[in-house]
Homo-oligomer: A and B are copies of this chain.
């Protein structure tokens, strides 16, 4: 850490907004601003707008000479290449490779810029400022529109041979014809069951297969969302709790396989679903301890992100800024 340069920039590049933040070494976000990610036709005009947005923030902390580096968390971000590669949901990056790190760096006087995907950024954030402080082996699982993961081994993010390691949302949980179709084009992936849309689908399936009363019947089935399940489960709704049992079992069994891989000290969950607290965390941990190899049983911690209330994505990305 360059003590001469007390700040880093964190960038959370999402499908809707791109948020820029100036962060200090303790994880305080001192200044923040954002632009609409998809209001630009090309990557060049996006970067231009980003620099315009950033400039007053940088001036606020005394200029770029006070900034150690910048980190970007972005969908399909590749750490090795510093590029966004074929991101299906970004209008200016869905058909090619956008070397975003290099583009920002050259617009910011050669500032070191690193880029990774959003789940890896979340793991960096947990290690620097969150629930994984002091840990060297842990896995962050993000439960959102998709299911993502950031795997830390020996204190380093696991990028693998090509920069794409840590796609734990796409391990196969249900093999063969029974598996649900997944957004990745295959079937039976963890994401197809445990993402927000996966949970909503489970809700519709369970409601259709039973006549039991449920708060979830107050809404047309096709409008049900993961959040409705959380709210109903919080009110003690039996069907909603069954949905969480099913989801938690799937996640717990997946974590049992992940333990056989990297034997982490903790599994840290991040995203909307975790706001249900023990209603989802308990089924996960129970299924894990029931299914994991005996040498791992009872050892791993199951934690909710320590960054849920802060702007975790900005903080996580900013942690990359200290790497230089």
Tell yes or no: A285 within 8 A of B by CB: no
The residues of B that contact A253 with a CB separation of less than 8 Å are: 172, 175
Contact of A164 among B184, B263, B291 (CB under 8 A): B263
Q: Whole-angstrom distance between the alpha carbons of A223 and B37 in the complex?
A: 66
Chain A 38-56, CB within 8 Å of chain B: the 1/0 string? Answer: 0000000000000000000
Taking A171-B257, A253-B175, A293-B167 as contacts, is the C-beta distance between A262 and B160 under 8 angstroms? yes
Tell yes or no: A235 within 8 A of B by CB: no
Q: Whole-angstrom distance between the alpha carbons of A175 and B256 in the complex?
A: 12
Tell yes or no: A222 within 8 A of B by CB: no
Report whether A161 and B261 are in contact in the complex, using a CB–CB cutoff of 8 Å.
no
Tell yes or no: A156 within 8 A of B by CB: yes
Q: Whole-angstrom distance between the alpha carbons of A160 and B293 in the complex?
A: 15
A 137-165 contacts with B by CB, 8 A: 137, 151, 153-154, 156, 158-165
- Distance in angstroms from A316 CB to nearest chain B CB is 20
The residues of B that contact A173 with a CB separation of less than 8 Å are: 175
Q: Whole-angstrom distance between the alpha carbons of A261 and B168 in the complex?
A: 6
Taking A172-B257, A253-B172, A253-B175 as contacts, is the C-beta distance between A158 and B293 under 8 angstroms? no
Interface SS of chain A: helix, strand, loop or mixed?
Answer: loop
Contact of A186 among B151, B159, B291 (CB under 8 A): B291
Chain A 80-102, CB within 8 Å of chain B: the 1/0 string? Answer: 00000000000000000000000
Chain A 11-46, CB within 8 Å of chain B: the 1/0 string? Answer: 000000000000000000000000000000000000
Taking A158-B153, A175-B253, A253-B175 as contacts, is the C-beta distance between A293 and B263 under 8 angstroms? no
Report whether B184 and A293 are in contact in the complex, using a CB–CB cutoff of 8 Å.
yes
Taking A167-B260, A261-B166, A263-B160 as contacts, is the C-beta distance between A294 and B184 under 8 angstroms? yes
Q: Whole-angstrom distance between the alpha carbons of A165 and B166 in the complex?
A: 16
Report whether B161 and A299 are in contact in the complex, using a CB–CB cutoff of 8 Å.
yes
Report whether A261 and B172 are in contact in the complex, using a CB–CB cutoff of 8 Å.
no
- Distance in angstroms from A310 CB to nearest chain B CB is 26
Q: Whole-angstrom distance between the alpha carbons of A167 and B295 in the complex?
A: 10
Contact of A151 among B156, B163, B261 (CB under 8 A): B261
What are 11 pairs between A and B in contact, CB < 8 Å? A137-B160, A153-B153, A154-B158, A158-B262, A159-B263, A161-B300, A162-B296, A162-B299, A163-B263, A172-B256, A186-B293
- Chain A positions near chain B (C-beta within 8 angstroms): 136-137, 151, 153-154, 156, 158-168, 170-175, 184-186, 253, 256-258, 260-265, 291, 293-296, 299-300
Given contacts A163-B263, A170-B293, 15 further A-B contacts (CB under 8 A): A136-B161, A151-B262, A153-B153, A153-B158, A154-B154, A158-B262, A159-B263, A161-B263, A161-B299, A162-B296, A164-B295, A167-B295, A170-B260, A175-B253, A185-B294
